[in-house]
Structure 1
């Protein structure tokens, strides 16, 4: 097997976790974060885009042996692929944060009722819980999609006009799934004496019933939520109301030990909804932020390398031995890649070069960008050898020059597919930087964007928050530096812009 044949066969996997679900476990290393999630010490997992949140979300679902052994019933509350269940809410958003909290709670109760019914829990309390949900027409079909369940719940609440209570009779059109009448007994406030006499039941009482069902059956239900960044528009009132309401619902459910919400959320989204003040934040102690250091990123690269039989055969290596030794992992890295991309005593090693070129303005590296870059590196090097050009020196699979050729595609992907798609209102300010210098002051940005200094500072601050700028200098005289990852697409020139 020659180098071209290896390059034509090698893959570092898909940078999108949902697209490589079948092979994700072969790359996975059981980190302390993972163990804390499984031990039920963590409910909320924060991480930047591309940091591996969705990978953890999928791996939790696919760990069937552990879930069965520990009697955990998983209830996904959002679609792994396709349109998010909550996307439709944007068409007819709830009027208030309070109404959204009630939607979350009733949605969760509906999913819990379906799970309890599917698992045939037959205790007295289980039958009572199912009976109440059934009488309220909230025991929905096993074939109902998450989107249709959510639409039903929203309709259920809005139809009443008063989001704090349901009364009357409930009937549902079989063909359309729409509500034509009511006969519900559920309220979201605390029960008064008259409410209790009339047979009403509070949502909190239903959650307590469900908790009792699970305690008697010695089971747990984990309700999983991911992809909330896709479900709601960035920085909108809907996103803020939806997620603040979600965390209020989470707070109210914390009294349950067997009924648990597991929320996977992007760090920047959490910062947006909490920036304006969020009292519930003080109650969120079971959370954890995903962070990748240099050692864990190198290990990720090696694990993905070792997912290729062609590499194992070409270098005649023992996969298990290499995975068990960081020194052997370093040796393999140096066999495959050149020691430096830019040669010189003061120049970085290849790995450090890669880390610098794939970091955003926050200084963070996400596996998604590294995987994207390495796959593009393979493609570029294979094209070079397919043209009959010289092979890389020694045992290397990649030439130094190929690294620089592979960077522009990553730069375009990060700006066009990530920043422009998520923050379209900032596109014109980023585009205005094309062919400009790599470092700016508020004054130079004010001139470039044709806005006053106050506006320039506000825009620059937003660009810093999304990781486009790295802020340097002092608080009174900051400068804004564009990281390497964005420079090729914008064709930037090294240096500091003139203030005059």
Structure 2
């Protein structure tokens, strides 16, 4: 008789009834004449649990892993990742009648993108275990990303510890790292996580204390990534805060910091492992049998494709306007391509070594100390004066820093710049001013120093008015006039200066932005224009450009006197053919074909069925992207992920259905966060559309808003937001209109709704139907 293969079954032990039921189903299945025998292994997260190595050895020896995810035990999550990294099938099961960690799993995002079997009874689980389980594993490329070898899992709220770690990563020479950032992606796709880890030579995994917001969700992601790393044999750095109780499976590998300075040493110790791994021979990879599996279309987040973006970037009119220096603001909704434009503009300008290019990415959390300790106590006029001076000072400091950094070696051999360099360096490094660290650290240090000086001098006096002299005394460590003159003198030897700010809205409170945030943004734009004017008087070409989310900008600035005066480039997409062309460039580039000779439909039909539910598949997906490039890429990656998971040649109907469901869940979480940021009382509002109708009358919509605890006085404002974000559209008769159908002019939607009167219906965007459980 042929020996039965052993299959490891992992499950949480916190629910005794569930654990007993799983054990009973396994015992009964083992009693049947099936070719495998199941070995159960419960986890209780208590001291004295079994050693880790026997568990991993059993997974390694098994043809597959069966794991119950009704409750998301951290060790089980790790083992799921480990099995996948070992090229094993991870067969996930979940009890239908137990809520368990279902809500957490939706926020995490990994498990529904892997797929799972839901059992209503333990007899049903037994029957499934007795049936054939396909052992085909997930296919992934093992080719390393040589230009961006680092992958980082960021927490929902980046604290000082992660900021220091990122700074040390950059100092180690890995400035172009790839990352998962919850503020951008909200949920982590298993397919994307596997692809990113497989391409990495080193992975940074910072855990959070359990009392931090959303720490449970973040730490689950971290455990899955840690398992992937160990399964694939990737170097990993598990960074934990003080007194962190590490799960059993990783307890021996964690590096715990007690003081922030410890992180410097930890990263320094880890960095050689990255170099050593990257120095290995290129892994041979797996046998690719389909074009779909081998295709690479880049990453939905431009930050993760800095080295490849130039191969398929769709140059739009807004890019040309920005490159020609015609704008000082680039605004666009989340996922509309602001960062892609930022990266291409930066790289284009850096192509001329005579240019000075500053890519500055301040984050809201770096200004919190200044906001809490100073700005809340100042009058509006004093606040604007202080913040404008702060930004102006910061811009000059960063220009000086870049000049000194760029010519650090050249000035020793170039007499034309030597004296000017020494003089600028002497002034810049004077007054005990530290230039250590990256821009984030310099910004944080400067704002904290300002806050400390203000508190020491004025304390917490409300509505304080500051004179010009008092502002100067508070803000400037250097003689600003002398610094400006030295920079101006130095720039006669350069071509142009480009100062670009991105990410200012990143890190702002998830509970909403306020009038102070508006002041910070407006004053940054004003300071940039002031620097441009001062430098241009001296004959220099200087461009200061701020990249910011369009919805945040409109919300913050609409009632300010300067609204509309700035020269803006707005990244609003409303042409499906443009999005189709964006996708074509990526598909053709991924196939290494001639970009100018391959038609979209020619390549599309090699990858996907031509129609889905009677509609052209590309059009079907585009219409559910909210006309945002990032969303379209996410939809395609989800659909492709499900197809490749099952070794299909092309994306079939079932893959599109599953992919759209996973994307819809992502979209729901992301849009809820976006709405909350600009209208805090709308938090969780979108979830109240669950099981609603596709089309609602004004009265029905009012009832829904009331059930979400939105004050009646705010109904019109909230409705405007829902229309603005594309969650709802307007239907009058047979005609349907969403915000992108009317060139993003919300007044058009409002007027059409008013004209329709009682016949007007508010329609839910089909992109949300799967997440809202609205029948298609």
TM-score range, shorter chain: 0.7 to 0.9
* Other structure's SS at 1:288 match: strand
Task: Decide which structure has the larger Cα Rg and report it.
Answer: 2
Of residues 403-412 and 273-282 in structure 1, the stretch that sits farther from structure 2 once superposed is 273-282
Which residue of 1 is the match for residue 616 of structure 2?
349
Which runs of 5 or more structure 2 residues have no equivalent in the other structure?
1-285, 458-465, 732-751
Change (3 A) 1:368 1:183: closer
Residue of structure 2 in register with 1:228 after alignment? 504
Paired positions, count: 429
CA shift at 1:411, angstroms? 0.7
**Is the CA contact (8 Å cut-off) linking 1:85 and 1:146 kept in structure 2?**
no
| Aligned counterparts of 1:34 and 1:440: Cα–Cα separation in 2 | 39
The 3 A distance-change label for structure 1 pair 434 and 212 is same
Counterpart Cα distance in 1 of 2:726 and 2:527: 31
CA-CA distance at 1:471 after TM superposition: 4.0
**Alpha-carbon offset, residue 407 of structure 1:** 0.6
Asked whether the equivalents of residues 357 and 484 of structure 1 are also in contact (C-alpha less than 8 Å), the reply is yes
Give the structure 2 partner of residue 324 of structure 1: 596
1:394 aligned residue? none
The two structures have a TM-score, normalised by structure 1, of: 0.75
Instruction: For residues 228-282 of structure 1, give each alpha carbon's deviation from its aligned partner in whole angstroms, at most 9, with x where no partner exists.
Output: 2204234323321210111221232331342321221211122112211332642
Is it true that 1:408 corresponds to 2:695 in the alignment? Answer: no
> Does residue 358 of structure 1 match 2:625?
yes
Gap regions ≥5 residues in structure 1: 171-178, 187-200, 313-318, 360-364, 392-396, 495-500
**1:76-99 C-alpha deviation (Å, 9 max, x unpaired):** 2226xx997546545545342332
Is 1:111–2:398 an aligned residue pair? yes
Question: Hey, what's the Cα distance between the residues in 2 that align with 1:244 and 1:296?
Answer: 32
With over 3 angstroms needed to count, the CA separation of the structure-2 counterparts of 1:291 and 1:277, relative to structure 1, is: same
**Alpha-carbon distance in 2 for matches of 1:47, 1:484:** 22
2:643 paired with 1:371:
no
Q: Which residue of 1 aligns with 2:518?
A: 240
Query: RMSD of the TM alignment (CA)?
Result: 3.5
Give CA deviations for 1:6-60 in whole Å, capped at 9, x if unaligned.
3333343221111222222222244443333333333322221111111122223
Matched with 1:260 is 543
Alignment of 1:118-267 (within 5 A): 118=405, 119=407, 120=411, 122=417, 132-137=427-432, 140-141=434-435, 143-158=436-451, 159=453, 161=457, 162=466, 164-165=468-469, 185-186=479-480, 201=481, 207=484, 210-214=487-491, 216-233=492-509, 234-255=512-533, 256-257=535-536, 258-267=541-550
State the distance in 1 between where 2:445 and 2:694 align. 51
| Gap change, CA 1:355 and 1:163, over 3 Å in 2 | farther
Instruction: Tell whether the 8 Å contact from 1:7 to 1:378 is kept in structure 2 after alignment.
Output: yes
Distance 1:385 1:107, change over 3 A: same
Q: Residues 528 and 545 of structure 2 are in contact (CA less than 8 Å); yes or no, is this contact kept in structure 1?
A: no
Q: Give CA deviations for 1:335-369 in whole Å, capped at 9, x if unaligned.
A: 433332122xxxx422221221222xxxxx11111
Q: Which residue is 2:579 aligned to? A: 297
Cα deviation for residue 213 of structure 1 reads 3.1
Question: How far apart in 1 are the matches of 2:553 and 2:349?
Answer: 30
The Cα shift of 1:297 comes to: 1.5
3-state DSSP of counterpart to 1:230: coil
Q: State how far apart, in whole Å, the 1-side matches of 2:763 and 2:717 are.
A: 16
The one of 689, 706, 728 equivalent to 1:469 is 728
CA drift of 1:435 comes to 0.2
Q: 8 Å contact 1:225–1:264 — kept in the other structure?
A: yes
Q: Residues 46-65 of structure 1 correspond to what in structure 2 (within 5 A)?
A: 46-63=331-348
Change (3 A) 1:111 1:357: same
Match for residue 358 of structure 2 among 47, 52, 75: 75
Deviations 1:310-346 (A, max 9, x none): xx6xxxxxx11xx1147x3332223433332122xxx
Change (3 A) 1:5 1:106: same
8 A Cα contact 1:240 1:273, kept in partner: yes
The 1:296–1:383 alpha-carbon spacing in structure 2 relative to 1, beyond 3 Å, is: same
Larger relative contact order (CA 8 Å, sep ≥ 6): 1
